[in-house]
Chain A
Amino acid sequence: KQEVTQIPAALSVPEGENLVLNCSFTDSAIYNLQWFRQDPGKGLTSLLLIQSSQREQTSGRLNASLDKSSGRSTLYIAASQPGDSATYLCAVRRTGANNLFFGTGTRLTVIP
Chain B
Amino acid sequence: NAGVTQTPKFRILKIGQSMTLQCTQDMNHNYMYWYRQDPGMGLKLIYYSVGAGITDKGEVPNGYNVSRSTTEDFPLRLELAAPSQTSVYFCASRLDSNQPQHFGDGTRLSIL
A interface vs B, CB < 8 Å? Answer: 4, 31-32, 34, 36, 42-46, 49, 51, 89, 91, 98-105
A104 touches B42 (CB 8 A): yes
CB nearest to B98 among chain A residues: A51
A100 touches B101 (CB 8 A): yes
A46 touches B40 (CB 8 A): no
A46-B42 Cα distance, complex, nearest whole Å: 16
Chain B residues with CB below 8 A from A105, complex form: 42
B45 touches A99 (CB 8 A): yes
A34 touches B100 (CB 8 A): yes
B41 touches A31 (CB 8 A): no
B42 touches A4 (CB 8 A): yes
Supposing A42-B106, A49-B100 touch, asked if A104 and B31 sit within 8 A by C-beta, the answer is no
- Encode B94-107 as 1/0 by CB contact (under 8 A) with A: 00011111111110
CB nearest to A90 among chain B residues: B42
B48 touches A98 (CB 8 A): yes
CB nearest to B42 among chain A residues: A102
Pick from A4, A34, A104: contact of B40, CB below 8 A.
A104
CB nearest to B99 among chain A residues: A49
Cβ-based interface call for B74 (8 A):
no
CB nearest to B105 among chain A residues: A43
CB nearest to B43 among chain A residues: A102
Pick from B42, B97, B100, B102: contact of A89, CB below 8 A.
B42
A–B pairs, 19, beta carbons within 8 Å: A34-B100, A42-B105, A42-B106, A43-B104, A43-B105, A43-B106, A44-B92, A51-B98, A91-B101, A98-B31, A98-B48, A99-B33, A99-B45, A99-B48, A99-B58, A100-B43, A101-B42, A103-B42, A104-B42
Q: Which of B35-80 contact A (CB under 8 A)?
A: 35, 40-45, 48, 50, 56, 58-59
CB distance from A64 to the nearest CB of B (A): 12
Supposing A102-B43, A104-B41 touch, asked if A46 and B101 sit within 8 A by C-beta, the answer is yes
Chain B residues with CB below 8 A from A104, complex form: 40-42
Chain A residues with CB below 8 A from B90, complex form: 43-44
